[in-house]
Amino acid sequence: MSNYQQIVLASRPQGVVSVNNFRLESVPLPALRDGEVLVRNHYLSLDPYMRMRMEDVKSYAAPQAIDEVMIGGTAGEVVESRNPHFAAGDKVVGMLGWTEMAVSDGVMLKKVDTTHIPLSAYLGVVGMPGMTAWYGLTKIIAPKAGDTIAVSAASGAVGTVVGQLAKLRGCRVIGIAGGKEKCDYVVNELGFDACVDYKGGNLFKDVKAAAPNGIDGLFENVGGVVMDAVLARMNPFGRIALCGLISGYDGEPMPIHNTRVILSMRLMMQGFIISEHMDLWPQGLSEIGALVATGKLKFRESVADGLAAAPEAFLGLLRGKNFGKQLVKLV
């Protein structure tokens, strides 16, 4: 029986997460039982929510267990099947975690068509990040043509989709990202109207200059001072889709000081978890998938090579080193 490798959570982070919180293991390949499939993962998805799951705190989902395979989205290929719904060679996405191989009962496994959409995209633009963008924009912000929409972490897996979908709906879109390269990308490649570099030293002034007529909708991924700067420019009855607060995930939470604007501008702010809205996934993914397949929705990926590279790539994601969707390529 051959072995394969997996990464488990070895310990909970004390403050900032480190590579020492993970452990690479070699384990034997299990025998398949009736109803099961064996999947060879080609790509792992790395996402900010994983940092929150590493903590033993009350949240929307159970904490990641110690000494268990790290949670996470996967895209791969069925290599053996004893399940009538799957055949060897099927391309599938699931939540099989940081592992080269995995056995699944097929319940949370979904076959995907890679004819016009690459397999990796099903973990990003045509997967959970894309749906997160679609839901927050269309169902919470609900923009009208002519609205000004701000997006923090604009060059990330979610932010890039938010901005492009908002442009397709006739909105003016302002991104906020870290560094000139990321800002140039979202403006020149993705078609955002403006992008503010939060590392530029003039965050509040630059947001004001980019949004002379104020901001009607905010898709918030960051929190802290970035959110404060946008709150200062919100128009009356603006809508905020609170998707993430990554500035405080790895260490002390960053405070938001400008909360009085929520009252004075009568803002609506809604936090959401996309896995609680599975009924809308077919609708959202059909729109996004069609746009990707026809080249109308662009996406970018940062790809780390090999399972052993996953912890370091995850640390980089938390520090904003990724450009677009962060993946690990296994095979």
CB-based contacts of 123: which residues, under 8 Å, 6+ apart?
Answer: 43, 44, 45, 73, 74, 75, 93, 129, 325, 327
Residues 6+ apart with CB under 8 A from 155: 175, 177, 182, 183, 185, 186, 300, 323, 324
Same domain flag for 192 and 270:
yes
Both 306 and 267 in a single domain? no
What 3-state DSSP class applies to 96? Answer: coil
Residues 6+ apart with CB under 8 A from 94: 39, 73, 74, 102, 104, 108, 109, 110
- Domain with 41, as residue range(s), is 3-124+299-329
Q: Report the C-alpha gap between 91 and 200 in whole angstroms.
A: 43
Give the dihedral sign, CA 293/295/300/303. Answer: positive
Same domain, 171 and 99: no
Q: Which residues pair with 81 in a beta bridge?
A: 37
- Which residue blocks in the chain are alpha helix, DSSP H? 49-53, 128-135, 159-168, 180-188, 203-210, 224-231, 260-264, 281-293, 310-318
Q: How many CB atoms lie within 10 A of CB 54?
A: 22
Claim to verify: residue 120 and residue 141 sit in the same structural domain: no
pLDDT tens per residue, the chain (331 residues)? 489 999 999 999 998 999 999 999 999 998 999 999 999 999 999 999 999 899 888 888 889 999 999 999 999 999 999 999 999 999 999 999 999 999 999 999 999 999 999 999 999 999 999 999 999 999 999 999 999 999 999 999 999 999 999 999 999 999 999 999 999 999 999 999 999 999 999 999 999 999 999 999 999 999 999 999 999 999 999 999 999 998 888 877 788 999 999 999 999 999 999 999 999 999 999 999 999 999 999 999 999 999 999 999 999 999 989 999 999 999 7
- CA-angle at 184, arms to 142 and 239, nearest 5°: 20
Structural domains in the chain (count): 2
| Domain CATH code at residue 154 | 3.40.50.720
What is the value of pTM for the model shown? Answer: 0.92
Whether 285 is covered by a domain: the verdict is no
Q: Within this chain, do residues 76 and 165 fall inside the same structural domain, yes or no? A: no
CA distance 175 to 159: 8
Is residue 282 domain-resident? no
237 in any annotated domain: yes
Both 321 and 192 in one domain: the answer is: no
Tell whether 118 and 153 lie within a shared domain: no
Say how many CA atoms lie within 13 Å of 180 toward its Cβ.
0
Structure tokens at 121: 């995209």
Instruction: Check whether residue 113 and residue 223 sit in a common domain.
Output: no
**Domain assignment present for 290:** no
Q: Of 174, 128, 95, 58, nearest to 276 (Cα)?
A: 128
